[in-house]
Structure 1
Amino acid sequence: MKPDKILTIGIDIDGTVTSPSSIVPLMNESFGRDLRYEDCVEYNLANVYQITDAEFEMWLDQNGERLYDGAPVHGIADQVLRDWFTSHKLVYISAREDRHRDVTLQWFARYNIPHHEVDLIGSHDKLSAARKWGVDLFLEDRLENALQLSEALQIHVFLFDTPYNQASLPPLVHRVTSWEEVAQKVNELFPAKTSV
């Protein structure tokens, strides 16, 4: 890694780089439901779909590849990430399991999404990975992760607004509604570090 990277940005994949609603049609199809994305008011979809955690894990085990391969890009995430690539170190830290590395990298290639590191940790606890990579900023959609990362690391976290992460936020966690807003906030919060 060249030492000229300005920020090390930790980036969640699902619900952040991919559209947060992409899982709903697949789960509806599998479980015979007709829920809308707006109905998913908690992160644990097992509760939303009234199935057990074990049933959800089994479903994800069987459908993860299809889900990850077919997910659409979240807004202009690909454009913003391409813009950042030459200036910042992009480290994707995801709860996906490492066995999904191939489908993840193929998806990145298909949408021309650049990366410096892809860390598939197989867990929602991203703190040790964020520490390992020395992230200066994190992009996330899961409320619990955003709160933990901002408090433990004293870094800014951008939390993508979803039906399942509504709560009051501490000062270092910023609710964002689009990738355009993310790009703008990075320039506002790190002005000296983002000017060319």
Structure 2
Amino acid sequence: MKKRLGIDIDGTVTRPETILPYMNKDFGLSLSLEDIVDYDLSLLVDIPASEFAQWWLNIEAKVYEESPLAEHVKDVLLEWEKLHELYFISARSTHLLAITENWFKKEGLPFHHIELTGSHNKVELIKNYQLDLFIEDKHDNAVIVHQECKIPVLLFDTPYNQQPLPQGVIRIYHWFEAKAWVKRWIQQG
């Protein structure tokens, strides 16, 4: 039976350290993924949050155009495309939809629908599309989606999402693990 799988983009489909080379270059830092223990990256630079936000606005399109794929994501998504409907829901700003769709096409990634929310609030879209499962990297999003939508959420492990998880939010470490989990979940029906 086909399931509707909801998938975040940044930090799940893309590598979670995607922004670090830009931060390191522009702010004279030498950060690695292990240094990112909070989702709020503005805490890592010695400038006001408003200046960091403006810096991000200036480079976000370039970052999204050049984002590297997470390891094995393409293999899993190509297989899932035949079995499920793939809905990508991201907090990216809505004006970046063409850039995002072009990146998916350039990378050869399948999708049935892409929705950019411009915020981290994904619950209403998940409910509207009647998604059966969601894949995320942001801890509080994962917890809220699970609690509000009553669906399982796979949370990709990163240094910035190490808070405890409620039952129903499952920590995973790579895309092949996500594939295996989804297969077991469907078989258990």
2:176 to 177, 180, 186: 180
Q: 2: distance between equivalents of 1:37 and 1:69?
A: 20
Provide the C-alpha distance between the structure 2 equivalents of 1:133 and 1:20, rounded to a whole number of angstroms: 26
2:109 to 107, 113, 116: 113
TM-score, with normalisation over the residues of structure 2? 0.96
> Deviations 1:66-119 (Å, cap 9, x if unpaired)?
110111100111111111112211110000112111211111011110111100
Q: Report the Cα distance in structure 1 between the residues aligned to 2:165 and 2:68, rounded to whole angstroms.
A: 28
1:66 lines up with 2:62 in the alignment: yes
Counterpart of 1:48?
Answer: 44
- Equivalent of 1:189 in 171, 179, 185: 185
Q: Is the Cα–Cα contact under 8 Å of residues 41 and 48 in structure 1 kept in the other structure? A: no
Ranges in structure 1 where 5+ consecutive residues have no aligned partner: none
SS of equivalent residue, structure 2 residue 87: strand
Gaps of 5+ in 2: none
2:23 equivalent to 1:27:
yes
Tell me the residue number matched to 1:159. 155
Helix, strand or coil for the counterpart of 1:10? strand
Task: Measure, in 2, the Cα distance between the counterparts of 1:165 and 1:53.
Answer: 21
Q: Deviations over 1:134-187 (max 9, x none)?
A: 111000000000000001111100000000000111110000000000000001
> Does the aligned pair in 2 maintain the 1:42–1:48 contact within 8 Å?
no
Say whether 1:98 aligns with 2:94.
yes
Counterpart CA distance in 1 for 2:56 and 2:124 is 24
Q: Is the 8 A contact 1:13 1:93 kept in 2?
A: yes
| Cα distance, 1:174–1:100 mapped onto 2, change above 3 Å | same
Question: TM-score w.r.t. structure 1 length?
Answer: 0.92
Higher mean Cα deviation, 53-62 or 91-100? 53-62
Pick from 54, 57, 79 the counterpart of residue 83 of structure 1.
Answer: 79
> Alpha carbon RMSD of aligned pairs, Å?
1.2
C-alpha offsets along residues 15-42 of structure 1, whole Å, 9 cap, x if unaligned? Answer: 0000001111111111111111110000
Runs of 4+ in 1 over 2 A off after TM superposition: 48-53
Deviation at 1:62, TM superposition (A): 0.4
Q: Which of 2, 7, 12 does residue 6 from structure 1 map onto? A: 2
**Letter of the structure 1 residue corresponding to residue 184 of structure 2:** E
CA distance in 1 between partners of 2:49 and 2:80 (Å): 37
For residues 98 and 125 of structure 1, what CA distance do their matches in structure 2 show?
13
1:15 corresponds to: 11
Whichever residue aligns with residue 168 of structure 1, its letter is: P
